[in-house]
Amino acid sequence: MKRFAVAVVFVVLLAMAASGAVQDFGEFTLDIPKGWTVKEKKTAEESIVMDIIKNDKSSSMSVSYEINEEYPVEDLIQDWANMEQTATEPERTRDGFYTFTFKNNKGKKVTACGRQITRTDGERGGAYLYVEMTGKDVKTMTAIRDSFALK
């Protein structure tokens, strides 16, 4: 029985180690799995952008967090979709994201998602999360997206 308990603990620890770790990006955190690399982009004030790329380059995503008190996220998403000639009409999903797809300049399908973020400090309510995902590992990219947490 003791060996079984030790084996279970070992398997759990191994699974945790393989799953990656929560990484801190200033105002928010994301759970980045092993086998993925993060690069921070320099952007305008009040905006944080991370490019997250699977090491085998089969999938990539961009995660943006921005303060925008002028427009609700559904209007911003509609504006972004209107800028892409191949974009589908944005739709609201059950998990609160507005999403649309388009083809990038390399002809690859991109899924774009945006969601209003409610800040816990109550000072700025006009924050949003915007994510673009390209590639086959949709399950992992969605898990990364859904791990977003404000500090």
* CB distance 71 to 34 below 8 Å: no
Query: How far, CA to CA in Å, does 40 sit from each of 23, 52, 60, 92?
Result: 12, 9, 13, 28
pLDDT of residue 12: 34
Q: How far apart are CA 135 and CA 151, in angstroms?
A: 29
The residue ranges of every structural domain in the chain are: 20-150
Cα-based angle 78, 27, 99 (whole degrees, multiple of 5) = 20
Q: How far apart are CA 8 and CA 11, in angstroms?
A: 5
pLDDT > 70? residue 14: no
Q: What is the pTM of this model?
A: 0.79
Q: What is the pLDDT of residues 76-124, one digit of tens each?
A: 899 999 999 999 999 999 988 999 999 988 899 999 999 988 766 655 5
Residue 122 Rama label (left phi>0; alpha psi -120 to 50; beta): left
| CATH code linked to domain 20-150 | 3.40.1000.10
Of 26-35, 51-60, 66-75, 77-86, least confident by mean pLDDT is 66-75
